[in-house]
Structure 1
Amino acid sequence: MNTNNVPNQYDALLGEISTQILQSRYRAARLVNRELLLLYFAVGKRLSEKIALEKWGAKIVEQLSADLQKGLPGLRGFSRRNLFNMKAFADEYAELEPVFRHEADTQYDADQLVQTPSALIDALPMNLFLSLGFSHHTLLIDRCKDLTERVFYLQKAVANQWTHDMLDWQIKARLYHTQGHMPNNFAQTMPDVIRETALQAFKDEYLLDFINVEADDERVLEKGIVQNIREFILKMGTGFSFVGNQYRLLVDGDEFFVDLLFFNRQLQCLIAVELKRGEFKPEYLGQLNFYVNVLNDQVRLPHENPSIGILLCREKKNAIVEYAFQGFSTPMGVATYQLSPDLPEHLRNILPDPESLRKLLD
């Protein structure tokens, strides 16, 4: 026996078995999730019928929840609130009843779903729909009334394995409305093979709600991002890796520093991010263009694509940005950022405005 090949053979076997275990767990989780969706739909439909027929109110639903949990100790997922969520789920997707009925009687096979004429069935990718968790569906029903927007988030959530909290954040960050809409010069500066990927990699606006103070200069903003770099990378999108902040470039004896430097695996290129606390100014692109050129010449590896520059500022006027792009041959984009969301309407009349608060403190 050739013992030299044993480590390689063992590693191959270990990798093969590990993959099979993970795939089996994933299939099992999908099947469990499918069964739960079927159950919740059936319960929600029955509850909806009874409420409509018997004019039941919230107290009956609350009693039903208590009796279910009393009769089935350890039962989870049947709180009063969740029973109403099941009703909303069944009401929202009433047109899918033939699909759910078909699924309840057959083994799961997304390609063999019953073909029932329905605009809703045609619009929803059913294989993805049945693999998304119930709490995700509840969130989408509550927050996304437009079906096209809902399907967008459904597909993203499944593809990226978003948790409920991450899906919630992406909706708050308006990903549907901002992804692919960032003003840029990619059409003039990028090859066709990666342009669409680049467009989808960036958003028009980034919600930096993990920064709790108003950034009065770029360094404060940069510090807040670096201290929460994991959150920032997760919310940047897919494939981003952090290289460093205040990344040093040396040109003819002079030092220059890129605020934030990333690498994106999908694009296979460096991403230079410059932070500006105020409104966009055309001269900012000149500085960013310089950084991107130096990165391409001194840092980029031979197999990597040309670097991209992203300017992140508080405000911008798109017409000014578009004019500012003219004449540059490096790929760049301009996005805005938003810090902690504005106060809810019901609190604005209770808390003093910043000027009044400052006078009180003085």
Structure 2
Amino acid sequence: MEQVRKEFLQQISEMLVNARKNVKTAVNLTMVYAYFEIGKRIVEEEQSGKNRAEYGQRLLVSLSAHLTKTFGKGFSVGNLKNIRQFYKVYAKDQIGETAFSQFNNHPTVSTGRKFYLSWSHYLKLMRISNVDERHFYEIESAKNDWSLTELKRQYNSSLYERLALSTNKEKIAQLALQGQVVEAPMDMVKDPYILEFIGLKELPEYSETELETRIIDHLQQFLLELGTGFAFIGRQVRFTFDEEHFRVDLVFYNRLLRCFVLFDLKIGELKHQDIGQMQKYVNYYDRKVKLPDENKTVGIILCKDKNQAVVEMTLPEDNSQIFASKYETVLPSKESLQNLLKAQVDDNGDKE
């Protein structure tokens, strides 16, 4: 008897998994819309009471008892307060629709607003007080299909502040309207890169090889940290030039910029020789590896510390290919990055 192909069985299984995932997503999204309208009705009903605070509390207790008796768990007073707060946060909150063309078929609530994520995502998002920052994380979560865990990780690693610190004043405003838009090499570079997921403490004694191995062991998280469009090519990629052998620590390809991206890892302070070495790697890839219709290779040196003056004096003024960024192996203080961003914005305002 002819055996049924394993590939066929696997394909059917994957189709059902995807279908169930889509159904689950649709159900979650439907509940988000329902919670918004429920929150609206709670607020409107509270406002009809003579003593709003006292009536509001009685209202939530009575509603909680009624819904729990009718539908079961999930409608505690605490959860109803979250639903009410959800409406209050998003009732006047609009977000640029241009970033979500793939969601044109989504319905709108009474205010004209659309929602794109699960209720768990919005529980996290609505606690971000900075509206621009909240919009950025909502856009990135929808564009990149971030799970709640990924959203929390990116927020805790201060992705918004790090991108804002790496760009100009105009691009900061763009983050809240379109999320991270990668149009040039500078757009994909972060400073610093946060590598807390590799499990190395802040100041241990470790080698560059160990750092590289830890990154490879956590490649999925590293790709998330790099951002959109990256594909892994290889580690310790060897090439020969003038009878000498060289190895590039990590090689990626960015499909948005259509270029190779080379990473060189340094556990100490960046030296001008390191920049010269990366220039050699980039030149080789541009002349020997990349295809004629691909864009110029980008090199990023990840170092524990750097002297910005050394970087600026070593690289040409019109540099658009080689970048030096610090890396941190522990989560940074969000407050410190927010203060740096505020100071940067204030400085730009003074210069203008």
TM-score (normalizing by structure 1): 0.67
Matches within 5 A, 1:1-362: 28=26, 32-42=30-40, 45=43, 52-54=52-54, 65=64, 67-68=65-66, 70-76=68-74, 78-93=75-90, 95=92, 110=108, 126-127=113-114, 130-142=115-127, 144-179=128-163, 181-182=165-166, 196-214=183-201, 216-326=206-316, 331-341=321-331
Shift of 1:288: 0.7
Shift of 1:321: 2.4
Please, which runs of 5 or more residues in structure 2 have no aligned partner? 1-14, 95-104, 168-180, 335-352
| Aligned length in residues | 291
Closer, same or farther in 2 for the Cα pair 1:251/1:48, shift >3 Å? farther
Secondary structure of 1:168's aligned partner: helix
Equivalent residue letter for 2:250: L
Q: Is the 8 A contact 1:276 1:313 kept in 2?
A: yes
Shift of 1:89: 2.0
Closer, same or farther in 2 for the Cα pair 1:273/1:62, shift >3 Å? farther
Q: Is the 8 A contact 1:280 1:316 kept in 2?
A: yes
Structure number, greater radius of gyration: 1
TM-score (normalizing by structure 2): 0.69
Shift of 1:330: 6.5
Equivalent residue letter for 1:207: I
Task: Please tell me the root mean square deviation across aligned C-alpha atoms, in Å.
Answer: 3.9
Please, which runs of 5 or more residues in structure 1 have no aligned partner? 1-16, 98-106, 116-125, 184-193, 345-362
Secondary structure of 2:190's aligned partner: coil
Structure 1 CA distance, aligned partners of 2:235 and 2:225? 17
CA displacement 1:47-104 (0-9 Å, x = unmatched)? 86689431777x9968965x3564135444x34543332233233345469xxxxxxx
Q: Is the 8 A contact 2:157 2:332 kept in 1?
A: no
Closer, same or farther in 2 for the Cα pair 1:31/1:140, shift >3 Å? closer
Closer, same or farther in 2 for the Cα pair 1:269/1:48, shift >3 Å? farther
Equivalent residue letter for 1:152: F
Shift of 1:220: 1.4
Q: Percent identity, aligned pairs only?
A: 29
Closer, same or farther in 2 for the Cα pair 1:56/1:33, shift >3 Å? closer
Closer, same or farther in 2 for the Cα pair 1:325/1:26, shift >3 Å? farther
